[in-house]
Amino acid sequence: MTSLSFELQLEIIHVQAYDGLVLKQLKIEKELTTMSYVYANRGYSDALTGFGSKPALVVVDFQRGFTDSQFPMGGAPMVDQAVVSTVRVMRAAKSAGIPIIACVIAFDGRKSAPLWKIGPVLDLQAGTEETQLDPRIAAEGPDVVLSKTAPSLFFGTPAAAILTRERVDTVIVTGCITSGCIRATVVDAFSLGFRVQVAKDCCGDHDIVAHEQNLADVGRRYADIIDADRAIDAIDQWRSTNDRD
C-alpha cells in the first residue's frame, strides 16, 4: 500500500469499505467468464428457451421473515430491491390477467419441517408474523397464496396443477432466496416441462456471489435469465395478442 499514490489508496479503501460488494462483483465477473468457457466447451448453452403461448408469474417466499429486518433472515438490501422490482411485474401481470401464484414457507409445528440446516427457518411457524406476505406483495393481490415446507414452490403444493388448468406453459420466477428456494423452484418448473424465465432483478439473496453464480448456473442448464423490463414486455405482448383491456 505504501507504494501507491494517496489518491489511489483512498480509492481502494473506499471500495473495500463498500461491504466488499464491488470487489466481489469484479471477482464474480472474472470467475463466471472463465467458468462459462469451461461449460461452453462441453456443450452447455446460453441459447434462449423463450416464452411460449401463455405465461404465469410466481412469487417465491417474499414473506416478512425474509424481507423484514426485525427477523434474523430479513432485511437483505438485494431482497428488498427485488421486492420493488417484482411489484412492477405483478402490476403488469394483474392488468393482463395472467395467473400470479405467491408462496410462503410455513410449518404446522416443527415436526412438519424437513431437516433444514438454517436455524431461523424453523421459526417460520404458520400464523406467525414471519410467514405473512411482505405488505408490498400482499397489496398487489396474488391470485393464489400457497404454503410450503420445502424449498420449491412446486414440492407438495398444487402449483403445477393450477398452472396446467390455466393452460400456462411459461413460468416467470421471482422471489428469494436465489441460491435456495429460487433455484429449487427453477429446477422443478423445468422438470415439469415449463419454459422457465428468471427475472434476475426480481430475485434476491443474502450474498451477491451466491446470487450471480446460481443465476449463471441455471441459465446454462434450465432457464432464461431476463429482467423485470423483459418480463413486463412479454406480459404486455401476451395481453395485446389476447385482446386484454
The answer to whether 11 touches 22, Cβ cutoff 8 Å, is no
What does the alpha-carbon distance between residue 149 and residue 126 come to, in Å, rounded to a whole number? 10
Comparing CA positions, the residue from 129, 139, 159, 128 lying closest to residue 60 is 159
Q: Where are the beta strands (DSSP E) in 14-77?
A: 55-60
Q: Residue 181 catalytic?
A: yes
CB within 8 A of 88, min separation 6: which ones? 228, 232
In what order do the strands lie in the sheet containing 224-226?
144-148, 100-105, 55-60, 170-176, 195-204, 224-226
> Which residue in 103, 176, 181, 202 is the catalytic one?
181
What does the alpha-carbon distance between residue 162 and residue 65 come to, in Å, rounded to a whole number? 26
Comparing CA positions, the residue from 198, 212, 205, 178 lying closest to residue 29 is 212
Which are the catalytic amino acids? 181
